[in-house]
Every structure is written in structure tokens, then in C-alpha cells.
Amino acid sequence: VRPLTARPLKFTVTSPYMLAKTLLDTHYHDIRALADALAGVLAAQVAEIDGPVLQIDEAHLTGHPEDGAWAHEPINRVLRAVPAGQERALHLCFGNYGGQSIQRGFWRDLIPFLNALEVDHLVLETARRPEEELDDLRGLRPGIALGTGVIDIKDNEVEPEDLVARRIEQAVRALGPERIRWVHPDCGFW
């Protein structure tokens, strides 16, 4: 994909866990086996991608934190296939269906899952979340850089500059300037 643009590039794929949760499984009849098989297909594909950043998008696990005990395994399988020298990222959000969150959950419940990931950085939905949830992200292991969502894509209103600036300042205050490396929209595909 590198020849497609002269600008820095991030290539994004859907998580094997999210695919396994949303596909009709008439073969494996086991979500873990299906997620692992999907991870194998995705790993073979991402091994061939020549771009600075490979990002996996996951919008389902946030509503099922109990699956975090195993869901990191197929996701890490894909991340391990990313060629050396490329950043490995994971985006998590609470879903978007017609401007509504479709997953219920809290960042605090996902910290063990997030810490088990073999990522360089996380890209998180934080604009639509309660501000105090930023404090929960302090439990992330050192070495994981963060991108925090500062644009709420579930709202059709254009946010004023001062609101976006306030969200950035809140994230830096809660998590420290060394942890926040990017600001972005809440959705990994937008």
C-alpha cells in the first residue's frame, strides 16, 4: 500500500474477536475457535502490508469485558504478524449505530485485557465517555502510548474549538503528556 500515497499511512483491519462475535458460525460452533481461525487469515494478510502503522479496530469487546480473558490471544496473533519496524495499534470504541453507543461498559473493566495486548499504542473513544473514566486508564502498563478521542462522531454537531481543546487538556491532566501521543475522532474508521 505504500506506493498509494506520499503521506504517512495507517492500515486498519477489523478485529478477529469482533468478526467472530458478529458472523454466523455454522462451522466451528465455538467462538474461540472461530476467532482463532479468523486471526490466522488476518495475520497472513497483515504480514504483507507495507505501512508505518497497522491498526486493529475492535468495537464489540467493550460490551463484553468478560471475554477479555481470552480475546487478547487472537488479537495478539494478528499483531505478531505485523512486520518489524511497523507500529501495532488497537482501536477500541463502544460501537456506533445511527449515532448511538451500542456497547455498554467501562474502561476500568478492560484494563487487564488492554495490558495483555502486544501493542505500541491504543486509540480509544474518550470524547463521548465520562471524563472521570480517563483516570481509570492510569492502570495501563507503561510503554503503551495513547490516542484519545476528542471528536464525538456520534453527534452531528461540529464541536467548537474550545471544547476540543478542553478534551485534550483533560486527557493530558489525567494521564500525563508523555502518555498522550495522538488526538483523533472517537471512531477508528473515521
Residue 102: predicted pLDDT? 60
Whose CA is closest to 180, among 128, 126, 129, 132?
126
The ranges of the chain with pLDDT < 50 are: none
CA atoms within 13 A on the CB side of 169: 6
In one-letter notation, the amino acid at residue 30 is D
The dihedrals phi and psi of 67, each to the nearest 5 degrees, come to: -80, -10
Residue 81: predicted pLDDT? 98
Bridge partners of residue 11, in order along the sequence: 54
Cβ density class 1-28: b for 16+ within 10 Å, e for less: eeeeeeeeeebeebbbbbbbbeeeeeee
Question: Mind listing the pLDDT tens digit for each residue in 176-186?
Answer: 999 999 898 87
Residue 54: predicted pLDDT? 94
Residue 99: predicted pLDDT? 53
Residue 100: predicted pLDDT? 54
Do residues 17 and 35 touch, judged by C-beta distance below 8 A? yes
For helices 68-80 and 31-46, angle between their N-to-C axes, nearest 10 degrees: 20
